[in-house]
Each structure stands twice: as structure tokens, then as C-alpha cells.
Amino acid sequence: MSFLLRTLPLVHDWVKQVVKPGDRVLDATVGNGHDTLFLAELVGTEGTVYGFDLQEEAVSRTSELLEQAGHQAVLTAGCHSQLSQVVKEPVTAAMFNLGYLPNGDKSVITQEQTTLLALESALELLAHKGIITIMCYPGHDGGASEASAVEAWARELETPHYLVMRMSPHNPKNPAPYLIAVQKNLP
Ligand SMILES: C[S@@+](CC[C@H](N)C(=O)[O-])C[C@H]1O[C@@H](n2cnc3c(N)ncnc32)[C@H](O)[C@@H]1O
């Protein structure tokens, strides 16, 4: 059964409203490359997508997907907490899809401490009106405490310079994925 009320189309819709051709954007967890491809299509040949993943396998799956679609990205196999060593210019969007690589090694998961460091770096790089999206997965071991830490981090971002939204299923039977999105609004 497919519902209209899903987070992924919502994330894509928000990101689409902010990102323009020629922009620089960031995928902090490329995984199988779906979000990287989505971003590459938005920024086009004049733009730049920076992508990170701890696992070589994810980076090669992403390169392959991009190549098949005729797109490119600046991909780094490494921890996203180091992203400021690679990304030196403002980005209009930063996507975080936490957790483990689907159809991959489920023991490699994003970790609270490095996720928060990466979020801080992304926030610093974020352009005026830029957006950070974070898909949180509280259902696996370690996922709930990471998600809580992300929520606490986002809650501290002060209005009016940041707007934070949290979108979550209201009637899940089990801990369900949810979205936190941050938009910057400089004075
Ligand atoms: C849910 S998947 C991402 C899915 C991806 N956005 C897609 O569209 O297919 C999460 C990814 O985060 C990666 N990851 C885990 N820890 C990381 C870290 N410290 N830095 C960068 N990537 C990390 C995992 O290897 C995994 O591929």
C-alpha cells in the first residue's frame, strides 16, 4: 500500500525549491547514491555535488549510478566529520540519511559524535536560505540515541536565524524513521 504522506517526496520537494542549477550541494552519506543522483540532476553540469561515505563500497556504487546517468560528483571515501577539509565553499543543501548502507554491511552505521560534528560543519557551510535534511532511523541499535542527539542539536538552533521542522509518523507500531530539516535565514 502506498501513501501520499511520505517523507522522501517531501524532502525532495523542499530541496528542489532551494537548489538551483550551478549550485554547490552536499550529500553527507551517499550510500547507494540515490540522493547524490537527485542532487546532481538539480545542480546540472555547472554545479558541484560533494559526497561522503565511510565505505568504499558505497562510493563505488554511487560513482557507478552517476556514471550511468551521465553525472559527476566529488566523492570522498571517508568520515563526513572531515567534510570541511574538502568543501570550502557555501552549499545550498546538505542531505544526511543516517544509519547503515541498504544491501550492505549493517554493522557500519552513522555515529552520534561524528554525525554531530558533520552537522556543525554543514551548518557553517550552509548558504543563506540553504537547507539541511536529516533522515533519522531510531529502529536499529544506536539509532535512537543518535536521533535524540540530532534532535537536541537542532532544538538549540535559534530563531529567527534557523527554522527547524520535524516530520514523523504519529501512529507507528515500531520506531519509525523521521525527518528533521533546518533552514538558515541570515540577518
Ligand atoms: C542510509 S545510508 C545512505 C543512503 C543514501 N542516501 C542513498 O540514497 O542510498 C547511510 C550511509 O551512511 C554511511 N556512513 C556511516 N557512517 C558514516 C560516516 N561517519 N561518514 C560518512 N558516511 C557514513 C554508511 O556507510 C551508509 O552508506
Domains of the chain: 7-184 (3.40.50.150)
Which atom from ligand 1 is nearest to the alpha carbon of 79? 20
Whole-number Å distance between alpha carbons of 75 and 53: 8
Ligand 1 lined by 114 (C-beta under 6 Å):
yes
Closest residue to atom 20 of ligand 1, CA basis: 79
Whole-number Å distance between alpha carbons of 9 and 31: 18
Residues 22-64 pLDDT 10s: 999 999 999 999 999 999 999 999 999 999 999 999 999 999 9
Between helices 143-155 and 112-125, what is the axis angle to 10°? 30
pLDDT of residue 1: 59
Average pLDDT, the chain: 96
97's CB contacts (< 8 A; 6+ apart) are 29, 31, 35, 135
Q: Give me the phi and psi of 128, to 5 degrees please.
A: -55, 130
- Asked if omega into 177 is within 30° of 0 (cis), the reply is no
Of the ranges 80-84, 101-105, 135-139, which one carries the lowest mean pLDDT score?
101-105
Ligand 1 lined by 48 (C-beta under 6 Å):
no
Q: How confident is the model at residue 187 (pLDDT cuts 50, 70, 90)?
A: confident
Residues 72-99 pLDDT 10s: 999 999 999 999 999 999 999 999 999 9
Q: Give me the phi and psi of 112, to 5 degrees please.
A: -40, -55
